[in-house]
Structure 1
């Protein structure tokens, strides 16, 4: 019954607010001590992915997937990479299409269920043959991709992929989109839509006439944006079709490797169905941990080494499971 009944994350009183946890790290956190070496990987459809490696000479590597409109340079990604390196793991933080500082080649970019690009990254690392073990770590949208990828492959997943950690995951996109449209999340929605608008403007310059941003100011929610852009650009019939097919929730029962899902109870982005307790109770490989606090990709910690609780928890989980392997 891998629903973890007790979480040891107990922040001070002034961090016991989901919005504080979600916003302060974005504004204030700086992560030093991570130096990336970038590698560009071509995709089967003549596009590219930029992979940022931070290597310590280990025989194991963690693939880190960022969130919506994030990148390998986000503090939460750099913090996780640093913690992995300190724990004896090589790490690669890959950038979704169009998230590495320049537009990707194709009209499409990325979406919440885009597991093929993750598969391209994993296959490339396996083919290089430098590492005997791989772990997967994903945040938010990247966490949804990670969980869906593992569930899609089930027992056929490559045996060198040993464990996974997913943090702050909207695993039910349909209901999470409704939660995000609430008035208390207006500040987040405006920020995301502003960034997505810039991406659409990039595409308008690359592909004149293919799409437009007429009346973009009228878009107020993810559903509106996904109905107009994400769904048609990525082969879905509608936003509803996209959410149903891209959500990781239906795939969780098929995950075949030890996987930790950490969703804070006060995460303002998540709906009740994003806490899959019933699935975890009946799934030997899915470990669901629901700290009372932590917000969305927060889990702040004041420690001498600068690590957040989520980073300690992830490396602890990997250590516990990977070190048990024969």
Structure 2
């Protein structure tokens, strides 16, 4: 059976009339609470590390407790046995400090959930140890992260959500795993660039895309990569990275060759999650605004493109990870409330 399609509106204010304003305002101005996290560092099998930021009622922000996160969660009152937990994967160059991560984490923590934000390599504020970084299709890494957090709270009802790049990686993982991911109670992909080829070309065209979003991403991506070039001479084509004018040129120069792809086109094709939506067996919300400037509406999935475990929610407005609603100065409460409703009811 095909997926279900929901077109219920996200009630964005009239003075944010289109996708760019809804995206930018939500990121810079919309109101949300601030959340502190307890940080745990985990060694990876290849000699690198990832940082996990945890929040839960009774968990003190700062370094991980001396006895470890698992012990701290087990000691919570009331007992976390059977409690709800959420693993939240951030977007390109995002972190636990990103506006959407803060809003979602606060919403669920205030309702008694444990929330963890696993950082992709190099995104937690400290360079990772290896020449490699992270990419939009690294579902093996995401699987390692999920298994790691599951071990910390094995009796919890685990949910997973991914935003933008993190959403694409999560949906790819779910499509590849099928029923094997059934230990997750539910999942959600938010503003995921489901077709990386179309999304990549979209970011490379248009005045705002080329003058605002692309330079914003390239500024930190180039800086991190050129630092790697100094640490690992000969592993990075420094000239091509430094001269990259858009994400395709950057992915051609660094992301693709470093992570086992022939070029950017090969990377974008093989890392896209849209072809794998039919394999998802876990109840999953795929939320994409139809005016998202990062992904044109014409390439969004239709019900026939996904399994019956998937609910496609495609409101007309919302922008890219925007979804700001309410009176001025607006809030970011609609998105976490939408996730909570789906996790609770499946609708």
User: How many pairs align?
Assistant: 320
Match in the other structure for 1:220:
245
Match in the other structure for 1:316:
341
- Cα displacement string for residues 28-83 of structure 1 (whole angstroms, at most 9, x for unaligned residues): 24643412000011111111110000113542211000100111111111111111
Match in the other structure for 1:86:
110
2:201 to 169, 178, 184: 178
Tell me, what secondary structure is at the counterpart of 1:214? helix
- Cα displacement string for residues 82-135 of structure 1 (whole angstroms, at most 9, x for unaligned residues): 111123321001110000001001100000001122111111122234433111
Pairing 1:199-278 to 2, within 5 Å after superposition: 199-214=224-239, 216=241, 218-272=243-297, 274-278=299-303
- Cα displacement string for residues 267-325 of structure 1 (whole angstroms, at most 9, x for unaligned residues): 00003454101435x62111111111100000002379944311110111111149xxx
Match in the other structure for 2:159:
135
Pairing 1:157-196 to 2, within 5 Å after superposition: 157=181, 159-184=182-207, 185-186=209-210, 187-196=212-221
Which range moved further: 5-14 or 237-246? 5-14
Match in the other structure for 2:94:
70
Match in the other structure for 2:70:
none
1:125 aligns with 2:155: no
8 A contact 1:252–1:279 mirrored in 2: no
Q: Aligned pair in 2 of structure 1 residues 148, 301: CA closer, same or farther (>3 Å)? A: same
Q: Aligned pair in 2 of structure 1 residues 156, 273: CA closer, same or farther (>3 Å)? A: farther
Q: Aligned pair in 2 of structure 1 residues 243, 215: CA closer, same or farther (>3 Å)? A: closer
8 A contact 1:163–1:258 mirrored in 2: yes
8 A contact 1:30–1:75 mirrored in 2: no
Structure 1 length-normalised TM: 0.92
- Cα displacement string for residues 4-47 of structure 1 (whole angstroms, at most 9, x for unaligned residues): 34314122211221001111122224643412000011111111
1:110 aligns with 2:134: yes
8 A contact 1:175–1:273 mirrored in 2: no
Structure 2 length-normalised TM: 0.87
1:279 aligns with 2:304: yes
8 A contact 1:16–1:294 mirrored in 2: no
2:171 to 147, 151, 156: 147
Structure 2 unaligned blocks of 5 or more: 58-75
Structure 1 unaligned blocks of 5 or more: none
After TM superposition, give the deviation of residue 216 of structure 1 in Å: 4.2
